A and B are shown apart, each in its own frame.
Chain A
Amino acid sequence: MLNFISENQQYIYIVILMIFLGIEVIGRVPSVLHTPLMSGANAIHGVVIIGAIIVMGKAESNNYLALILGFLAVILGTLNVVGGFVVTNRMLEMFRGKQNPNKKK
C-alpha cells in the first residue's frame, strides 16, 4: 500500500490538488451561470476523446472488434467535445452585449 502511494505520488498529488482547485474555481458562481457552467464543464470532460484516439491508434488493423469499439468511442467523444463547446457558446452568446445595454436599442 505504502509502496503504491510512493510509486504513484505524482498522480495522487494531481488528484488532490485538482479536487480543491475544481471546488475553488467555481466557488462563487452566480446562479444565472449554473447552466452554461455545467455545459462548459461537460465539454471539458470530453477530454476523454484523447483516450479514444489512443485506443483507436493502437488497435491492430486486423482486430475488428477493437477497431469498431474504438471508432465508436472516437465519434462519441468528439460529439461530447464539439457539441459541448458549441452549445455552451450558443448559451453564452445570449449574454453578449448585456454589459452595456444602453447602447442597444
Chain B
Amino acid sequence: MQQNILTLIYLIASVTFIVGLKMLSHPEKARNGNLIAAAGMTLAILGTIFLYKDDAGNTLHNYGWIFGGILIGGIIGTLAAKKVKMTAMPEMVSLFNGMGGACAALISIVEFNHFSEVFTKPGWSEVPWNLTGNMIGHLLTIYAGAFIGSVSFAGSVIAWGKLNGKIKDFSFKGQHIFNLVLLAVIVGFIVYLLFDLNPSNYKLFYLIPLLSLLYGVLFVFPIGGADMPVVISLLNSFTGVAAACGGFLYNNKVMLTGGILVGAAGTLLTILMCKAMNRSLKNVLIGDFGGGNTVTSSQSKTGEIYKEITVSDAAVAMAYARKVMIVPGYGLAVAQAQHACHELEKLLEEKGVEVKYAIHAVAGRMPGHMNVLLAEADVNYEKLLEMELANDEFKTTDVVLILGANDVVNPAAKTDPTSPIYGMPILEVEEAKMVIVNKRSMKPGYAGIENELFFHPKTSMLFGDAKNVLQQLISEVKTL
C-alpha cells in the first residue's frame, strides 16, 4: 500500500516537472511553472522520507540526520537565493548546479563503499569472485554518477569563480591535448574497473572522482568569461544526467525522469544559446575564446584617438533628439544602474523623445540578463527590442546611448574575419546618427578584444560608472 502511494507520488512529481518545464518557456506562465515543479519536488521528497522501502521492505532510518541536513541546506539555500543581488544571479545558478553535481558524486561514492564492503570481510578470499551482468550495470551507474557529478561540481565552481571575478582565465600550452588525455585516462579507469573489479584494485575507484574533479577544473578554466552562460547550461545538463544515474541505481523513476528531462532540455538550451551567439558548441569549448594569448590588445592601433564628450553635451544631445536608443550591457548590471536608467528614460519621454532599448541576446553575462534587470526597474516590456527589430530602427535613431556594453556592438564581428567574435550577430549602432558610449575605461570588454567602434567618428566616449553617469545625465536633463 505505502509502496503504491509512493509510486503515485513519483508519477505526479514527474508530471509536474514536465509541465513545469513546459510552462517555464512561456513568459506569462513561467512563474506558475516554477511553483508547480517546486510543489512536485516537495511532494516527492516528503514521500521518499516517509514511504520509501528498500527491496527487503525496510523503511528508512536516521531521520534526525535527514531532517538536520534538509534544514541546514534549506536555510542556507533560501538565504543565499534571497540575498543574492540581481547581477550575481548567474553565479548563484552555477553554484547551486555544482551542489547538485557534488550530491550525485557523493551518492555514488557511498554506494561504491557499500558495494565494496564485501571485499573487507574476513574469509573473503576463499569465495569465488565473479561480476554478473547486473553488477556491471550497477557499477556503471555508480562510476558514471561519480564521473559526471564531479566534473559538474568542479566546473560549476570554476564558472562561479570566473563570473564573479575571483578566478582569472588560465590556460597552458597543449591544454586541450592534456584534457583529452585526462579524459581518456578516466574512461580507461572506468572500463577497467567495470570488467575487472577485484579485492586488490577496488581502491582505484577513488581516482575516478578525483581525476574528474581535476578534469572539471581544466575543462572550464580556458573558456572565456563571455561564454560562461553556455558552459553553465552545459554543466546543468551534465548534472541532470548524473541525477539520472542515481535513478538507475535505486530504480527510482522520478529521479530518472527529472534527470534525463533536464539533461535533454539543458543540452538543447545550450545549443540555443550558442545559436544566439552564432557560434558552435565545439567552437565555444575549444575555441580559446577570450582566454588565449592571441587576443590581447595586439591590434590596438595606438595612432587612433577617441573623443570624449561631457555630461552636459550628452544630455543636450539626447534631450533634443527625436529618438534615443539605449543599449545596456554588463556595465549597467555591475553598477546596478537600472533604476537610474529608467528614470532617465521617463525624463526624456516627458520631453517628447522616443526612447527604446536595444537588447542583444547575450548582453550581460546570461541570455535574458538585461530583460530581467530592466524589468526589475519597471521598464515597459514593449520598449525592449530584440536585436533584429533594433537593427531596423537604428537607421532612424538620433542618439544611441551604450551603457557598459562592448562586444555586442563591436563591428569587428562583421568586418574582421580574424577576430574571435567574427560572425556573431551584433547591434549595428553605427547606423545611428550619433553614438555615446559609457564605459568605465578604455579597457577591452569581456572577450578581451579591441572595439573599433570607439574610434568611429560618430562615437563619443562618456567615461564613468554607469549609475553615476546616469544620475548626472538626469540632473542635466532636468535643468534643460
Contacts and interface: CB of A to CB of B under 8 A. Distances in A.
Interface of A: 3-4, 8, 11, 14-15, 18-23, 25-59, 61, 65-67, 69-96, 98-99, 101, 104
Main SS at interface, chain B: helix
Contacts of A82: 73-74, 77-78, 81
Contacts of B249: 51
A84 to B, nearest CB: 5
Contact of B272 (A19, A29, A45): A29
A15 B81 contact: no
Contacts of B84: 87
Contact of A89 (B34, B73, B250, B265): B34
Given A22-B260, A23-B264, A54-B52, A40 B24 contact: yes
Given A48-B246, A77-B103, A79-B77, A61 B62 contact: yes
B17 interface: yes
Chain B interface size, under 10 / 10 to 19 / 20 to 34 / 35 or more: 35 or more
Interface of B: 13, 17-18, 20-22, 24-28, 30-31, 33-35, 37-38, 41, 44-45, 48-49, 52, 54, 58-63, 65-66, 68-70, 72-74, 76-78, 80-82, 84, 86, 89-90, 92-93, 95-97, 99-100, 102-104, 106-107, 109-111, 113-114, 133, 137, 229, 232-233, 236-237, 239-240, 242-244, 246-250, 252-269, 272-273, 276, 361, 366-369, 371-373, 375-376, 378, 380-382, 386
Given A47-B254, A50-B252, A86-B78, A77 B100 contact: yes
Contact of B368 (A8, A32, A46, A98): A32
B43 to A, nearest CB: 11
A14 B260 CA distance: 9
20 contacts: A15-B260, A25-B22, A26-B269, A31-B386, A41-B236, A47-B255, A51-B252, A53-B66, A54-B250, A55-B110, A66-B113, A72-B69, A73-B69, A73-B110, A79-B76, A81-B77, A83-B99, A86-B82, A89-B38, A101-B381
A86 B41 CA distance: 13
A35 B372 contact: yes
